[in-house]
Amino acid sequence: MGNRPNKWIAGILSFFVPPLGMIFVAQLVWAAIYFFAAIGIVALMFVLMPGSPYAVIFLSFALNVVAAFHSYKLASLYSADKIRPHYSRWYGLLGIYLGTWFVVFGFRSFLFEPFRAPAGSMLPTIEVGSILIAQKWGYGHYGSYGFTPFQQQISAELRRGDILVFDYPDKRSIQYVKRLIGLPGDKITYRDKQLSINGKKIAHRKDGEYINYGNGALPPVYLSRFVEIVDGKEYSVVENEEINRIFPDTISFLFKDKCKYDAQAVTCEVPAGHYYFMGDNRDNSRDSRYWGFVPADHIVGKVVYVMH
């Protein structure tokens, strides 16, 4: 009788982690099937149904319920004379769980990590709710889930126009996503909606309109779309031409003495070891124009893929 897996434990394990419950009843094939089914549901959420979270939650719940009943039945049918393999014992399950966790943590820490865009500061490039895949290797910020055990100097090339994920300077537990505009030593000026880098005006070509529908709770906002080209990288920005931006000079930040403000412009000289970021939604982005420079060790990774 001691060899038969407990059917209640099997059901509970499968309800929360279907593959683990199937391993508990020594069914590796079924564990793989449920694992790939769960991956398929995640893919649906990210790719096919990004705007249907409730459908994905329902599918995940349904899969877990089916797995719970399935493993309960398999445990009930398990022969009492059959010797259970070591991997299905508690120590085997613990080892599999910890091993899987370390693999996932290592992948997210050193290779690629997903992020979600919570706001519209990077419209039209990144829509609200988009899933961002950031490359971690080469950016020296090796950690995930709020834990960064390894940190070193950046070895990847940082180029103006790149979209980067970084820790907010005043609160590192918050990650921002913005476009890199200024490198150390650059002089950045944003005057009357015209960006200049080191005294050179950046190409700024009108490219029609962009309608920001938001979440539907408020009327749509009609914005002007422009194309900018920085160091050969072309991207779109949007502006609200009804807003005559006046930059506040009230927030204190490190190296603020390197910035000058007036009613229509801000000019900053980027200090060594720091970077200057701006959002593509120029009149609805809190960025380096407001809270200053981003230290090099705050940079998390480069956005290499956006799933809308």
Per-residue pLDDT of the chain (308 residues; tens, 9 = 90+): 467 899 999 999 999 999 999 999 999 999 999 999 998 887 776 666 555 667 778 899 999 999 999 999 999 999 888 889 999 999 999 999 999 999 999 999 999 999 999 899 999 999 988 889 999 999 999 999 988 898 999 999 999 999 999 999 999 999 999 999 999 999 999 999 999 999 999 999 999 999 888 766 678 888 999 999 999 999 999 999 888 776 666 688 999 999 999 888 899 999 999 999 999 999 999 999 999 999 999 999 999 999 87
Q: Is residue 99 part of a domain?
A: no
pLDDT at 243: 82
pLDDT at 49: 59
Q: Are residues 122 and 237 in the same domain?
A: yes
- As a whole number of angstroms, the distance between CA 98 and CA 92 comes to 10
Q: Are residues 194 and 151 in the same domain?
A: yes
- As a whole number of angstroms, the distance between CA 27 and CA 46 comes to 29
Q: Are residues 186 and 54 in the same domain?
A: no
Q: Is residue 72 part of a domain?
A: yes
Of 39, 71, 88, the residue that ends a domain is 88
Q: Are residues 32 and 140 in the same domain?
A: no
Q: Are residues 66 and 193 in the same domain?
A: no
Q: Are residues 73 and 161 in the same domain?
A: no
pLDDT at 52: 62
CB count in 10 Å sphere of residue 277 = 24
Q: Is residue 249 part of a domain?
A: yes
Q: Are residues 219 and 166 in the same domain?
A: yes
Q: Are residues 56 and 138 in the same domain?
A: no
Kindly tell me the burial class for residue 85, based on how many C-beta atoms sit within 10 Å of its own C-beta (0-12, 13-18, 19 or more): exposed
Domain count, the chain: 2
Q: Is residue 61 part of a domain?
A: yes
Q: Are residues 73 and 221 in the same domain?
A: no
Q: Are residues 131 and 259 in the same domain?
A: yes
pLDDT at 244: 75
Task: Assess contact for 255 and 292: CB atoms under 8 A.
Answer: yes
Q: Are residues 269 and 221 in the same domain?
A: yes
Nearest residue to 122 (alpha-carbon basis) of 164, 159, 156: 164
The two counts, helices (H) then strands (E), for the chain are 6, 17
Domain region containing 33? 7-88
Q: Are residues 83 and 124 in the same domain?
A: no
Q: Is residue 29 part of a domain?
A: yes
Cα–chain center distance at 205: 30
Residues in the chain: 308
Q: Is residue 65 part of a domain?
A: yes
Q: Is residue 108 part of a domain?
A: no
Catalytic residues: 121, 178
Q: Is residue 307 part of a domain?
A: no
